[in-house]
Chain A
Amino acid sequence: MRLSEQPLLTDFYETREQIKLSAGSLYVFAFSGEERSESQGPWLEGQDVDQLEIREVAKSSTLLDIDGHDRVPLRSRAALQALWTHLGVEEICLDLTGIRNDVWAPLLRAALDVGLRVKALYVEPAEYRFLEKPRPGELFNLSERREGLDQIPGFAVLDDPLGDGDSVFVPLLGFEGARASHMFSELQPRSERVVPIVGAPGFRVEYPMHTYHGNEIFLRQPEHHSQVKFAIANCPFALYHRLGEIAEHYEADVIRVGILGTKPHALGAVLYAIAQERRPLDERLPVALIHDRPIVQATGFRTMGMAHALLYDISGFIEEVL
């Protein structure tokens, strides 16, 4: 197929207001408190779309309160599939901006399971909050503390003494270096099997530098900095392919991805895990999606404003890679 004929999987918009969703589709969102996750506004007016708000997530993040529906367990693929089937739509737009990673991931997979056309939306922030009193290695005021490591619900990979050979740890780096260091100190992988990924080019030209600066201590560990790989910060597909390269190069028996960076990168990792699931058993690579459940700052929000909006054709991509 000629390059000009190949489908474009990402639509890029200067502002969210420019987006026109497919008529009759369902727009799924959650309000996280940040301005960019607000669904209200002129951009949906006049569009022939229904809206579905995810209102509340139980503390253990395993049960959802979805507007107008009973609580839905995230760890029941059948229940999530039934939710989508019951809604009777053919296409959804999952706005990842305000939905937590551990919530949209199982929802996304179930939507693909039942054959919906799935698009994912992400709105970049205009800027992140700088610390009032910055310290070496910590510039941004993003999270107060972490609840501890866990795996994305429904995607857990359990320890198998007979099965686990060589694993590779791939932290998707954000700005907060303490999170990567924490995950590293908990998982304790061998340093030569650690492959950090930096989002570059970043949302803004200086953001990759912030990533290096924020993760300075982690990257100073033996070999980490020399093994860094890059993937465009707002492109899940670039991250997806990067994971494939890493898995092949390191001949991993299991790949442990640290979900610490951008939402698009998290999306890429989830798509990679979904794609692996769909492979024949003897070709499948277990993909552990590990997150640290950060508790965001109580005072004020992590980000301000809105910048570009990106609409990803998830179904189109899955069809392409499988």
Chain B
Amino acid sequence: MDPTDQANLAGEGLRFEREEEVSREFGAYRAEWVDERLFELFRAPQYLGSLMAVQPMVLQGGRGTGKTTVLKGLSFRGVHARSGGDMDALARAPFIGLYWKVMMSQVAPFHGEEVSAERWDSLFSHYLNLIHCGLIADYLVWRKDLGVPLALRAGAVEEVAECLALEGVETLDELLATLRRAHRRFEVYVNNVAGEKAPPLSMLGVPQRVFAEAVCAAEARTGSRFCFLIDEYENLSDYQQRIFNTLIKESGGAIVYKVGVREEGWRERATLNPTQRLEEPQDFRRVDIVQELGRGGSFSRFAASVCEGRLARLDQPTLGSMGELMPELTEEAEAELLELDKLLAARREELLGCAPDAAGRSELEELAPLQAYALLEWSDAHKTTTSLEEVVADYLARPGDWSSRFGNYRYTLLFTIRKGKSGLRKYYAGWETHCLLAAGNIRYLLQLVETSLRLQLRADLGLDRPLTNEIQTRAAQQVGEKNLFELESVSGTGNLLLRLMLGFGRVFGRLAAGGSAHRPETNQFELSRRVPKEELPDADQWERLELILTDAVMNSALIRTPANKLQERHDIAADLFIVHPIFSPFFVFSHRRKRKMMVRPLQVLALIDDPSATIGPLIDSSDDDERAGVPIEENLPDQMRLFAEYYRAT
């Protein structure tokens, strides 16, 4: 083989290996994917300390915000692994964490018309008791396997068995074996719930309380308790949440709960006692992950520690810090990358020729590039009402007003420099910028970093130099696209969710490209209350709208800012919604939380059902003369060309 070919092959092989290594370290970003390494890679978020409090807590966050990782980290296996196998660490922990994930397919069988609702309450309560006792038993088995078994006091095993109506149990081993048989027997019953006689059922909460007290009494440390770490609480149906709420309400002593749930996923506050509800802060404390991480740059620091820990494990030269690897891009530098200088060079005389005199010309010549462009862009965007001479004259007469306008529109202008052109039309680069794109979602952040690193390697550039701005931007586009398509899979309304995002994404993208023709950085919406009677949604339409918007929030497609922070459930009629920033590079609009537009409720549904007829009027309603009449499917950014057919009017 030719030596050059050999060298090329060797180089490709090395690059492939390095990409594989990056994928291994950064690509496995689901807690479920990294079982063995989960605790090696674990980085404590700053709110972890607050979770160690011995009180019921609700940990709220969307997919990818780190709930599962944190809850698993609090489990006895997690504490043991993170301490390198130190049993003393477990003894020092404020509780013994028992992790259980609620899977929808597991709890769905507890529904049906064959038995009454009250009967389902009893059956599901018994199932929960079996689960709780099984988790405690699993802990005992684990201890025994490690050679540090616990000896329960005399009679404890029989008491637990009695609570579960299990017979012939005297020893712990017999209890464990009988628990498994009881579980299988119950499973057979649920599969024949319409025809069989139920096995004896236990009272909600009782068996595990007896079991937990007995085990904690046997622990060397006084004051031991169990903490049930319940993940994906949203998968419980409403009646099941009421039952579990009852357990939380009545917890204490040897048992405490910490629950992981997505926003909008905790639908019920009631318990089985109609006069009692779970109340905050008396009964539980809520920790909102995104809010906690959003305090004073916390997410940026936390995410940096997660990423730098993984970078350090790479067997290839890398820069040490995320700030060095992904340096920020100033607006001026970005304007240069977008070739603003070429645009200005082509229109320089046009601008300078508008000066009334030599002094005015001199003033124009001293303008920074973005400021000079701002005048041109303003004139272009408002050409039906004002000329460039008038704009220049206004600037020269009122420089203070224009200074304020420059500040408002500065970032917006970047979206217009290359509008309609192929190639990148906007850059999304810099560590802080990518943290803003992720908006508190560590999974998104890891995807952004992993994709950027792989693209850098693929371009034959090492990781021992900053990632290029283009690579970071292309990575952001790819991650946005990937998560957009994944929306279809994350919920039952997935297809509708995707269509909703395609609609709003296009609207905000077109508004951004319109520059100063619109209010700057419009990327949020609120449902308009000023709706003609004939355009008010009927009951079915409201229900459908509520379902889709709730799903969108639950699955991190939209971020909701409640109108009233104290309300338990969101009020779609009053709340503010922002398209998750992770999608902004794909659709090319601002990722910063700025301004909103009002949208009629039926327009939201129409965006899903008839996008080609709805997107245009929504954009036109922003007084965009230039956009009127331009088909929606035209001037799409390169990464969106595949959707041209979708947006085309039928």
Contacts and interface: CB of A to CB of B under 8 A. Distances in A.
Contact of A161 (B113, B134, B191, B648): B134
28 contacts: A75-B190, A76-B114, A76-B195, A78-B192, A79-B194, A133-B650, A137-B485, A138-B488, A145-B494, A145-B496, A146-B492, A147-B492, A148-B108, A151-B105, A154-B192, A156-B190, A156-B191, A158-B127, A159-B103, A160-B180, A162-B134, A162-B137, A178-B488, A185-B490, A186-B103, A188-B30, A189-B32, A190-B33
A135 B105 contact: no
Nearest to A161: B134
Interface string A234-274: 00000000000000000000001000000000000000000
Contact of B104 (A74, A155, A178, A186): A186
Query: Taking each of B105, B194, B482, B486, which has the highest tally of chain A beta carbons within 10 Å of its own beta carbon?
Result: B105
Given A78-B192, A133-B646, A158-B186, 14 more contacts: A60-B113, A73-B195, A76-B193, A77-B191, A149-B104, A149-B105, A150-B109, A151-B108, A156-B187, A158-B190, A178-B489, A182-B489, A185-B486, A288-B105
B194 A162 contact: no
Contacts of A181: 486, 488-490
Interface in A169-201: 177-182, 184-191
Contact of B108 (A150, A178, A187, A256): A150
Contacts of B141: 162
Nearest to B30: A188
Contact of B35 (A77, A156, A190): A190
Contacts of B650: 132-133
Q: How large is the interface on B (under 10, 10 to 19, 20 to 34, 35 or more residues)?
A: 35 or more
Cβ-closest 6 pairs across A and B:
A181-B489, A76-B195, A73-B194, A178-B488, A161-B134, A76-B194
Interface of A: 58, 60, 62-63, 73-79, 132-138, 144-151, 153-163, 177-182, 184-191, 217-218, 222, 256, 288, 290, 292
Contacts of B482: 217
B193 to A, nearest CB: 5
Contacts of A78: 192, 195-196
Given A76-B196, A163-B180, A222 B33 contact: yes
Contacts of B138: 161-162
A162 B180 CA distance: 7
Contacts of B176: 162
Contacts of B305: none
B72 to A, nearest CB: 12
A189 B186 CA distance: 25
B491 to A, nearest CB: 7
A154 B27 contact: no
Contact of B642 (A136, A190, A218): A136
Nearest to A158: B187
A160 B113 contact: no
A182 B491 contact: yes
A158 B182 CA distance: 12
Given A134-B645, A135-B646, A189-B32, A75 B485 contact: no
Contact of B492 (A138, A148, A153, A162): A148
Contacts of A135: 642-643, 645-646
A288 B643 CA distance: 38
Query: Taking each of B35, B135, B190, B489, which has the highest tally of chain A beta carbons within 10 Å of its own beta carbon?
Result: B489
B486 A217 contact: yes
Nearest to A79: B195
Contact of B33 (A132, A191, A292): A191
Interface in B7-35: 23, 27-28, 30, 32-33, 35
Nearest to A290: B105
A217 B489 contact: yes
A163 B183 CA distance: 9
Query: Taking each of A76, A154, A158, A186, which has the highest tally of chain B beta carbons within 10 Å of its own beta carbon?
Result: A158
A314 B410 CA distance: 72
B582 to A, nearest CB: 16
Nearest to B190: A156
B106 interface: yes
B191 A188 contact: no
A148 B486 contact: no
A155 B188 CA distance: 9
Given A148-B108, A162-B138, A62 B114 contact: yes
B645 A133 contact: yes
B192 A77 contact: yes
A272 to B, nearest CB: 17
Nearest to B187: A158
A222 B23 contact: yes
A158 B189 CA distance: 11
Given A145-B494, A149-B104, A162 B183 contact: yes
Contacts of A155: 191
A149 B488 contact: no
A162 B179 contact: yes
A58 B27 CA distance: 44
A159 B489 contact: no
Contacts of A138: 488, 495
A288 to B, nearest CB: 7
A147 B104 CA distance: 11
A74 B193 CA distance: 9
B112 interface: yes
Contacts of B180: 160, 162-163
A151 B495 contact: no
A84 to B, nearest CB: 14
Nearest to B176: A162
Contact of A187 (B103, B135, B491, B496): B103
Contacts of A190: 32-33, 35
B406 interface: no
Nearest to A136: B642
A134 B111 CA distance: 37
B493 interface: yes
A292 B493 CA distance: 12
Interface in B626-650: 642-643, 645-646, 648, 650
Query: Taking each of A155, A162, A185, A288, which has the highest tally of chain B beta carbons within 10 Å of its own beta carbon?
Result: A162
B186 to A, nearest CB: 7
Contact of A159 (B131, B194, B491): B131
Interface in B79-130: 100-101, 103-106, 108-109, 111-114, 127
Query: Taking each of B23, B28, B196, B495, which has the highest tally of chain A beta carbons within 10 Å of its own beta carbon?
Result: B495
A76 B194 CA distance: 5
A159 B135 contact: no
